[in-house]
Amino acid sequence: MQDDIKAVLYSEEQIQSKVKQLGEQLSEDFNGRNPLVICVLKGAFIFMADLVKAITVPLELDFMAVSSYGQSTKSSGVVKIIKDLDVSVEGRDVIIVEDIIDSGLTLSYLIDVLERRNAKTVTVVALFDKPARRTVDLEPDYKGFSLPDEFVVGYGLDFAEKYRNIPYIGILKPEVYEK
Ligand SMILES: O=P(O)(O)OC[C@H]1O[C@H](OP(=O)(O)OP(=O)(O)O)[C@H](O)[C@@H]1O
Ligand code: HPA
Ligand SMILES: [Mg+2]
């Protein structure tokens, strides 16, 4: 598995320390509120687990599964809800937890859905950002790292469902997906 990685971009330690910082910042900014933290499955599951442990204000959480990449390294352009939320977002301070913003299509779709369902506020936290690939104009409210225009895997991110369990983020060798 590790042989398929061309280069490590951020180590496990660098990611852990960034996630802690983001948790501290969110704890300060959401002091006195009771946010509903939404994990965008599957990619964000590891970030979500680490992030909520670093947040000290009372919160609730829920999960939503969406997919647009499938077996490809390019977005299909169609965002599909595979699992919807269990709870209502009406009147809630919602925090969307995303692993990566690439084209921005997934997030712009989700923000639109949550606003139409009358969330009070929608805040976006993304651990990784690939600004060069954006097709919709969108910036996260909180972000961890900017990434170059390369297909990356690890820390929850996959290619064709593999590599999610690598604890760091790395560039996938093109020969893996060009075969
Ligand atoms: O900004 P975008 O171009 O929309 O890309 C970002 C989204 O793509 C990935 O999800 P994917 O569709 O691969 O589903 P997964 O999380 O189950 O891997 C990733 O986890 C983000 O949710
Ligand atoms: O670079 C990426 N890697 C894995 N999943 C992704 N989804 C959007 N961009 C990426
Ligand atoms: Mg994926």
Q: What is the pLDDT of residue 103?
A: 95
Average pLDDT (139-165) is: 97
Distance (angstroms) between ligand 2 centre and the Cα of 159 equals 8
Residue 37 DSSP SS3: strand
User: Is 100 near ligand 2, meaning CB less than 6 Å away?
Assistant: yes
Residue 179 has pLDDT above 80, yes or no: no
- Tell me the pLDDT tens digit for each residue of 24-48: 999 999 999 999 999 999 999 999 9
Average pLDDT (101-125) is: 96
Residue 171 has pLDDT above 80, yes or no: yes
From CA 126, how far away is CA 140, in angstroms rounded?
6
Q: What is the pLDDT of residue 122?
A: 98
Q: φ and ψ at 173, to 5 degrees?
A: -60, 130
Q: Which residues contact 167 (CB under 8 A, 6 or more apart)?
A: 12, 15, 154, 155
Residue 65 has pLDDT above 80, yes or no: yes
Q: Output helix, strand, coil percentages for the chain, rounded to the nearest 5.
A: 30, 35, 40
From CA 97, how far away is CA 75, in angstroms rounded?
19
Average pLDDT (98-116) is: 96
Q: What is the pLDDT of residue 2?
A: 85
pTM for the model stands at 0.96
The residues with which 123 forms a beta bridge, in sequence order, are 95
Burial class (CB in 10 A: 0-12, 13-18, 19+), 172: buried
Atom in ligand 2 nearest the alpha carbon of residue 151 = 1
Residue 176 has pLDDT above 90, yes or no: yes
Ligand nearest the Cα of residue 99 is 1
All structural domains of the chain, each given as residue ranges with its CATH number in brackets, are: 13-147 (3.40.50.2020)
Q: For the chain, what is the mean pLDDT?
A: 96
Q: What is the pLDDT of residue 70?
A: 83
Of 6-10, 112-116, 153-157, 175-179, which range is least confident? 175-179
| Largest Cα–Cα separation, the chain | 52
Distance (angstroms) between ligand 1 centre and the Cα of 125 equals 14
